[in-house]
Copies of this chain bind each other. A is one copy, B any other.
Amino acid sequence: MQIGTVADKTGISAKAIRYYESIGLIAAAARTHSGYRVYGDHDVQTLRFIQRARGLGFSVGEVADLLALWRDSERRSAQVKALAANHVAEIDRKIAGLRGMRETLTYLMERCHGDDRPECPILDALGTDA
């Protein structure tokens, strides 16, 4: 299989696959005599794993950890769960930050006429010395 086929099968771009290889997230692919990368079903599996993990918001570094655990038959599920728990905590922090912004913005927007007049509590809030 060539990289384009793998890209189609996994939904990961060929560029990204090469990038993952370059940073060592996946092993270097075998090559044809002319230098083309060659992949097998196993590689497609791995890349699907990576894509799902990325889709859950894990960083590439965390995905590397998850992949190692996935391959380690002696792993302790507690390790995986801890990784996931950390990530959920991180997600919660982000959500909390976004909700704070959202709240402030909607509060200000409710007080902004939103018409042809220049008066605007949003700009006032950003610009005051308070």
* A interface list, Cβ under 8 A from B: 45, 48-49, 52-53, 55-57, 66, 69-70, 72-78, 80-82, 84-85, 87-88, 91-92, 94-95, 98-99, 101-102, 104-106, 108-109, 112-120, 122-123, 125-127, 129
Give, as a whole number of angstroms, the nearest-CB distance from A60 to chain B: 14
Q: Cβ of A118 and Cβ of B87 under 8 Å apart?
A: no
13 contacts across the A-B interface (CB closer than 8 A): A45-B129, A49-B126, A66-B126, A69-B120, A69-B123, A70-B126, A74-B118, A76-B117, A77-B118, A77-B119, A80-B114, A81-B112, A91-B102
Copies of this chain, how many?
2
Q: Cβ of B98 and Cβ of A94 under 8 Å apart?
A: yes
Q: Cβ of B66 and Cβ of A116 under 8 Å apart?
A: no
Q: A66-B123, A88-B102 are in contact. Are A116 and B45 (CB under 8 A)?
A: no
Partner of A127, one of B45, B119, B127: B45
